[in-house]
Structure 1
Amino acid sequence: MDQVVERALQRSPDIRRAERELDVATAREYADGLLPDPTLTFSTDRPGAAGFVPAFMAGLSYEVSALVDRPAKKRAAAKASEKQQLALEWVKWQVANRAYALYVTNVTLQRLEGEVGQLVAYQRDGTERLQKALARSEVTRDAALLAEVQYGDNVQQLGTLRQEHLKAEQELARLLDLPPGSHLALVAPPEPSEVPQDLIVLALSNLGQHRPDLLALRAGYDEQDERYRAALLAQFPRLDVGITRGRDTSAIYTSGLAVSVTLPLFNGNRGNIAVEKATRESLYQEYGQRLDDAYTAVDGISSELTLLTERLHSSQSTEAALEASLKMLRVAYAARDVTFPVMADAEVRLLSQRVATTKLANSVLQQQVELCTLIGVSAIDHQPLQ
């Protein structure tokens, strides 16, 4: 199980995609930290009359106003990189717990498929024996027909289990980035345990301070706040300052200072300010909504887990009772006190109950994994995810 989770963290396509997005954010942070380049201009004039020399004008200028909003842009880029780092951590949390859930599901379905396969083989033999007994008028037609119907139902159930197992295997193979046709031999994992209630309460008390997706939203809001600040600073006139050196056609050299200012009469960066402000407000609302959704989701899953766990315990009790009853029937069958159809029916009932119990246990597991992901603990040992 540890090997599967480790490979999932190394090879999952979702994680690699998030890592590429982090690389892009890091590159943007580097780009936003660079200083603007100075501007060099040069022009020349050729006189059309004799006695004059070619004139030229050279200038070197720098956009001083670009330095005003540069700190805000750098802080925004740093927050964007932090946001992607937290998003990567959130994906890793989900992948680790998802790998564990698929591991347990595959092992469970494989074991269940083997049990149902054994029963189908047993029922096939029993059905053939009943058909022969029916031909000798040793059993009733109803008993033979019932056994045949039960055999057909279990054959269909076996086919469904194989489809579910194949689907779970393919999902795990995609998560581990395995080549098509790969087959994993999985060791039986430890039995899943219930998530302690005090752990849920503790996690909910500081959910917004440790869950990466919520922290990423907060970093995204901080990024947008800096971009809004940069847009406000960018409304000031663009200022270019430079020095010039020239010569006119009379061979007189001049030096000077050049200043150019953009007049904010029609634009004034007001459009960008409105966009950045609206985006910041949207992110604020999204963070609040996501936090509320997180608490609601944890509460809903906890309630559903309680109901599923009660159903699972009831199903396990029924399975234990059927198993004890079947043991008694086998003893009675050996003593010829009960007929084969009666014992075969008990076998079918027990297996059907075992299938139902296993599927309920898998549903409980899936809910536990989702709950653990939402509160930020490992689904394997309930330790905080790092």
Structure 2
Amino acid sequence: MHPRPKLERLRFFAVMAACLSMLASCTWYRREPLSPRDTSTSLESLERIRIDPATMPLPELAAHRFDPSDGLDIEEVAMLAVANDPDLKLARGDLGIARAQAFSAGLLPDPQVAISSDYPGAEGTTRAFNYGLSMDVMAIVTRGANQASADATVVKTDLGLLWQEWQVIAQAKQLFLKARLQETTLPLVQQRRDLSRTRYERMAEAQRDGNLTEDSLSAALTAYSDARKQYTDAERAAEQTHHDLNALLGVAPEMTLKLVGGIDGEASAPDDAPVEAALASLPKRRPDLLALQAGYEAQEQKYRAAIMSQFPSLTVGFNRARDTSNIYTTGFQISLSLPIFNRNRGNVAIESATRARMRDEYQTRLNQAYADVAHLRADAAILARQLAQTESALPEAEQAALHAREAYGQHDLALGAYTDAQAAALTRRVDIATLAESLAEQRVGLQAILGGAIPDAFLSDQTFIDAHAK
């Protein structure tokens, strides 16, 4: 046998062996079915959750220990939200996808192998073959820009996740404050309803005895109806808060969390000094602004890749062939596009317009951040003033309610005057709690915009409070 066919056969088998070897290193498909069951965190699994404070995105959470055995305070609720919020889990999945895309962008293109063979039917001829190896050169040229764009996209996604964590922390704290407010005010609203009901029932009895006019009874009924509606609305608001908080924390809807701590009556507007300092460094510290900067850099690299793709695409290859007359040839091939009509001008225009839009988006977000801070500071100042005024009026209302109770007990005061005095004191207490909660929510909102530069007014971690008070 002629040595050449044997050599060609060996080369063919070597190529097949290399292909089989590469297939062996590939990832294989494995089915992963969906779960038909509710996987929300139960009370038993909540007690087993362990959260590392070092993984928390804000300093006041990183300085706090997570221990749900004695109830959840405001920091522990925020920590659980960061660790267990379903939307954050999806966002972390998006980050994994971005990292995988960056890995894909950094891979070199695979060379292309072409194998063909002809079997002639005439005698005296030999089998013809053609082996070719080629590589897309332009894919290598644009690899650097594509890799830089993918890396910047990973940074953008990571910072976007951090910004989403900040928002979840703020939302969890605000829901915590709202839940604690409702736990405090719902009994007060119930007392006010009961007072109105007692007054109406007594007046209805007097009207049946002919000792009261129909107009007076109608006014009492209206007041009772209003108080009953306020209590029902408060119950529904509490149920909505319970639902929203459980959904945010990823716990079962039927669970009732034990919340501890909260508003202590010392709510106040934040100091100007830390707010001004945080505003000065806002573009360098707020994750969404940094994410937009990273996204803009990714777009810069996409625009650069589109510019480079204007040049002719180039594919270079080498081949080895034999025809049916047993003549061997060795050569090369070059595929080159002719930039006559397209020249990638459409993609260049798209990437340029996208870059301009992203620049405008960044500036709009930055301007909105400054406007949000100004609004929250002004609103917090108004709330603080209203809270101070309402608190100053509470002692007088409480004293009047005490005197009315004593006089009513001695039968020196009518029922209507007694219930009015008690309801006025209850209303003051509800107003104070509501204003304090609103001021606390404003502070949490400001912290979400500025980050850990503005410490919480209701932290249970005294060490962190003292450290930020210096």
TM-score (norm 2): 0.76
Kept in 2: contact 1:22–1:85 (CA 8 A):
yes
2:116 to 19, 26, 43: 43
How far has the Cα of 1:145 moved from its partner? 5.3
Aligned pair 1:329/2:404, yes or no?
A: yes
Paired position in structure 2 for 1:290: 365
Q: Distance in 2 between matches of 1:190 and 1:119?
A: 22
Paired position in structure 2 for 1:213: 288
Aligned pair 1:89/2:138, yes or no?
A: no
Aligned pair 1:196/2:196, yes or no?
A: no
Q: Distance in 2 between matches of 1:355 and 1:143?
A: 27
SS of 2:135 mapped into structure 1: strand
Q: Distance in 2 between matches of 1:171 and 1:345?
A: 35
How far has the Cα of 1:43 moved from its partner? 2.4
CA deviations over 1:214-233 (Å, ceiling 9, x no partner): 10000000000011111111
How far has the Cα of 1:143 moved from its partner? 6.1
2:315 to 234, 240, 260: 240
Comparing 363-372 with 282-291, greater Cα deviation is found at 363-372
1:188–1:115 CA distance, 2 compared to 1 (3 A): farther
Q: Distance in 2 between matches of 1:126 and 1:111?
A: 24
Kept in 2: contact 1:13–1:177 (CA 8 A):
yes
Q: Distance in 2 between matches of 1:97 and 1:323?
A: 35
What are the ranges of 5 or more consecutive residues in structure 1 without an aligned counterpart?
Answer: none
Q: Distance in 2 between matches of 1:252 and 1:171?
A: 79
CA deviations over 1:297-346 (Å, ceiling 9, x no partner): 11122112212222222222223321122223333334444333212111
Q: Distance in 1 between matches of 2:170 and 2:448?
A: 7
1:350–1:142 CA distance, 2 compared to 1 (3 A): farther
CA deviations over 1:130-184 (Å, ceiling 9, x no partner): 4445666777777665544433321121111111111111111111122232222
Aligned pair 1:116/2:193, yes or no?
A: no
Aligned pair 1:261/2:339, yes or no?
A: no
Q: Distance in 1 between matches of 2:258 and 2:447?
A: 26
Aligned pair 1:304/2:379, yes or no?
A: yes
Describe how 1:105-254 pairs up with structure 2 within 5 A: 105-132=178-205, 146-191=219-264, 192-254=267-329
1:308–1:194 CA distance, 2 compared to 1 (3 A): closer
Comparing 348-357 with 206-215, greater Cα deviation is found at 348-357
The share of aligned pairs that are identical, in percent, is 35
Comparing 40-49 with 123-132, greater Cα deviation is found at 123-132
Q: Distance in 2 between matches of 1:71 and 1:134?
A: 90
Aligned pair 1:69/2:112, yes or no?
A: no
Comparing 147-156 with 259-268, greater Cα deviation is found at 147-156
Q: Distance in 2 between matches of 1:141 and 1:188?
A: 48
Paired position in structure 1 for 2:427: 352
Kept in 2: contact 1:29–1:81 (CA 8 A):
yes
Q: Distance in 1 between matches of 2:238 and 2:394?
A: 23
CA deviations over 1:12-70 (Å, ceiling 9, x no partner): 12211211111111111111111100011122334454322222221111112211110
Paired position in structure 1 for 2:347: 272
Kept in 2: contact 1:14–1:91 (CA 8 A):
no
Aligned pair 1:27/2:104, yes or no?
A: no
SS of 2:290 mapped into structure 1: helix
SS of 1:240 mapped into structure 2: strand
Comparing 233-242 with 87-96, greater Cα deviation is found at 233-242
SS of 1:74 mapped into structure 2: helix
1:45–1:139 CA distance, 2 compared to 1 (3 A): closer
Kept in 1: contact 2:177–2:441 (CA 8 A):
no
Q: Which amino acid aligns with 1:84?
A: T
SS of 1:376 mapped into structure 2: helix
User: How many correspondences in the alignment?
Assistant: 384
Paired position in structure 1 for 2:446: 371
Kept in 2: contact 1:245–1:256 (CA 8 A):
yes
TM-score (norm 1): 0.91
Q: Distance in 2 between matches of 1:99 and 1:133?
A: 50
Q: Distance in 2 between matches of 1:119 and 1:63?
A: 80
Paired position in structure 1 for 2:86: 13
How far has the Cα of 1:375 moved from its partner? 1.2
SS of 1:187 mapped into structure 2: coil
SS of 1:34 mapped into structure 2: coil
1:334–1:48 CA distance, 2 compared to 1 (3 A): closer
Q: Distance in 1 between matches of 2:426 and 2:224?
A: 12
Comparing 357-366 with 4-13, greater Cα deviation is found at 357-366
Q: Distance in 1 between matches of 2:395 and 2:92?
A: 49
Paired position in structure 2 for 1:281: 356
Q: Distance in 2 between matches of 1:45 and 1:264?
A: 36
Aligned pair 1:57/2:130, yes or no?
A: yes
Q: Distance in 1 between matches of 2:217 and 2:307?
A: 85
Q: Which amino acid aligns with 2:104?
A: A
How far has the Cα of 1:128 moved from its partner? 3.4
